[in-house]
């Protein structure tokens, strides 16, 4: 089979030292990218160079290192902003996407919220959310007396939009949903959801944790109000995430955390707050991780997000086709690459996902098992858990074939085929 890949995967792989290691005496096949990705040398070197040569606290000094560190931190913000089609000041660095979403959920419930919530108001989500984009809204509803509603799922693993107009209605203040599901792989129809939210005047927040690493994303073009993603799934270190918001909205939101850097004037009787992004970056921020995230954006940009997406489509198709040939193995989620990311959840009849994952690990193959922080999805489809393989730019067709072969070996070991 001729390869349709648009970049040199072997060259990319050389940038990721971990891909050369063995696990249980077998070459590592890393297919747990939806959980977290590996980091290329270029990202590690950018972070190291910053820490070794330019590190200091940011925004707080006149000395040279302080200025260099501030410049690097703000340059990182610009790079990340460009990466998602945003303005510099609209990008807030957080710890991860979870913190970004909680930031919004708390700010919206704080006094002075531009969208005050109370009994009779509604927050809408979907049944396929990661707990990070579900539990904060449950908690906000609890704090304010608002009602949480959700869009259900079809048997094919897509959002059921037949009752969209009932779920998102005049009482809806916010619609929060994931662009791409981390468990089903489903890519949601952002324009349709945004259009309905706009009709009823609801804010939209999109969880981009599984989209930004894998495909071109332009937040301005999406027309959403708020957008969040996480660095560690896109070649950056853990510890840095991003909240993007429309400038007017960010500056109208009350702060979430109080502390240093987020203030204007502080008196014993009260304080006024800085504008975004500092408004939401109380305390010393994640400095070197932000610099590394910018390096990750540069790395992904140089390979090309379109090329990465095309590469993943090839791998995902190969995996879906392969699984279809295996009796007793089924996919949870869309069975084609249409409007789909690279995360493929599967169930092996008669073998618990934990045992599938452990047996694959013996073969050097890393997949994730469990409910993937989306327990309601497992419940919806009547499974306790799934195994999930998720590919990224450095995976190869050989990785997919190793997994497919591994699944057959698992079935043989467990007497399930």
Partner 1 sequence: MYQEIILDHYRNPHHKGLRDPFDVEVHHVNPTCGDEVTVRVRVLDGIVEDVSYDGQGCSISQAATSVMTDLVIGRKVDDALVAHEAFLELMQSKGKLEPDEDVLEDGIAFAGVSKYPARVKCALLGWMAWKDATAQAVAKQKEAS
Ligand X SMILES: Cc1ncc(COP(=O)(O)O)c(C=O)c1O
Q: Please say if 373 is a catalytic residue.
A: yes
Which of 38, 77, 13 lies closest to 293, judged by CA? 77
Query: Is residue 215 part of the contact set for ligand X (CB under 6 A)?
Result: no
- Per-residue string for binding with ligand X, 66-105, x by CB under 6 A? ------------------------------xxx-------
Which of 342, 296, 292 lies closest to 316, judged by CA? 342
Residue 305 CB, nearest approach to partner 1 (Å): 32
Residue 354 CB, nearest approach to partner 1 (Å): 3
Q: Scan residues 170-189 and list those touching partner 1 (CB under 8 A).
A: none
Q: Which of 209, 242, 286, 294 binds ligand X (CB under 6 A)?
A: 209
DSSP state letter for 363: T
Residue 47 CB, nearest approach to ligand X (Å): 18
Q: Scan residues 344-373 and list those touching partner 1 (CB under 8 A).
A: 352-355, 358-359, 369-371
| 415 phi-psi bin (left φ>0, alpha ψ -120 to 50, beta other) | left
Taking every pair of Cα atoms in the chain, the longest distance, rounded to a whole number of angstroms, is 72
- Per-residue string for binding with ligand X, 245-284, x by CB under 6 A? ----------------------------------------
Residue 251: CB atoms within 10 Å: 16
The counts of H helices and E strands in the chain are 14, 17
Question: Please, which residues have CB within 8 angstroms of residue 168's CB and are 6 or more apart in sequence?
Answer: 124, 175, 193, 196, 197, 200, 202
- Per-residue string for binding with ligand X, 339-378, x by CB under 6 A? ----------------------------------x-----
Nearer to ligand X, 230 or 345 (CB): 230
User: To 5 degrees, how large is the angle CA 400–CA 405–CA 409?
Assistant: 145
Name the phi and psi angles at 103, rounded to 5: -55, -50
271 contacts 260 by C-beta, under 8 angstroms: no
Residue 301 to residue 201: CA distance in whole angstroms: 35
Query: Is residue 207 part of the contact set for ligand X (CB under 6 A)?
Result: yes
Can you give the binding site for ligand X, defined by CB under 6 A? 96-98, 130, 132-133, 178, 182, 207, 209-210, 230, 232, 241, 373
Q: Please identify every residue annotated as catalytic.
A: 373
Can you give the binding site for partner 1, defined by CB under 8 A? 352-355, 358-359, 369-371, 375, 378, 384-385, 413
């Amino acid at each position: 089979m001729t390869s349709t890949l648009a970049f040199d995967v072997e060259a990319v792989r050389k940038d990721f030292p971990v891909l050369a290691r063995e696990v249980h005496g077998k070459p590592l096949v890393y297919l747990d990218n939806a959980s977290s990705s590996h980091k290329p040398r270029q990202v590690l070197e950018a972070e190291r160079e910053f820490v070794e040569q330019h590190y200091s606290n940011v925004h707080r000094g006149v000395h040279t290192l302080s200025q260099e560190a501030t410049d690097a931190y703000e340059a990182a913000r610009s790079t990340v902003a460009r990466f998602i089609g945003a303005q510099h000041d609209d990008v807030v660095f957080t710890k991860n996407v979870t913190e970004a979403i909680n930031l919004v959920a708390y700010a919206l419930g704080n006094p002075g919220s531009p969208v005050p919530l109370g009994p009779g108001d509604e927050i809408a989500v979907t049944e396929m959310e990661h707990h990070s984009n579900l539990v904060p809204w449950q908690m906000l509803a609890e704090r304010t007396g608002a009602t949480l509603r959700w869009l259900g799922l079809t048997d094919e693993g897509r959002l059921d939009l037949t009752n969209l107009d009932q779920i998102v209605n005049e009482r809806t203040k916010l619609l929060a949903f994931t662009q791409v599901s981390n468990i089903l792989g489903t890519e949601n129809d952002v324009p349709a959801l945004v259009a309905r939210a706009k009709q009823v005047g609801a804010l939209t927040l999109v969880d981009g944790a599984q989209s930004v690493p894998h495909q071109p994303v332009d937040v301005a073009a999406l027309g959403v109000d708020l957008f969040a993603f996480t660095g560690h799934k896109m070649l950056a270190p853990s510890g840095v995430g991003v909240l993007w918001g429309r400038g007017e909205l960010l500056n109208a939101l009350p702060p979430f955390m109080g502390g240093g850097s987020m203030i204007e004037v502080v008196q014993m009787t009260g304080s006024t707050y800085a504008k975004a992004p500092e408004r939401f970056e109380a305390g010393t921020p994640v400095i070197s991780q932000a610099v590394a995230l910018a390096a990750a954006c540069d790395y992904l940009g140089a390979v090309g997000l379109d090329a990465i997406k095309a590469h993943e489509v090839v791998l995902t198709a190969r995996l879906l086709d392969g699984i279809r040939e295996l009796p007793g193995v089924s996919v949870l989620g869309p069975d084609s690459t249409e409007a789909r990311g690279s995360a493929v959840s599967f169930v092996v009849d008669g073998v618990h996902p934990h045992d599938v994952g452990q047996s694959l690990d013996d073969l050097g193959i890393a997949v994730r098992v469990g409910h993937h922080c989306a327990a309601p999805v497992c419940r919806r489809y009547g499974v306790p858990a799934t195994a999930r393989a998720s590919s990224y730019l450095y995976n190869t067709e050989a990785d997919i074939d190793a997994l497919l072969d591994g699944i057959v070996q698992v079935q043989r070991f467990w007497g399930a085929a």
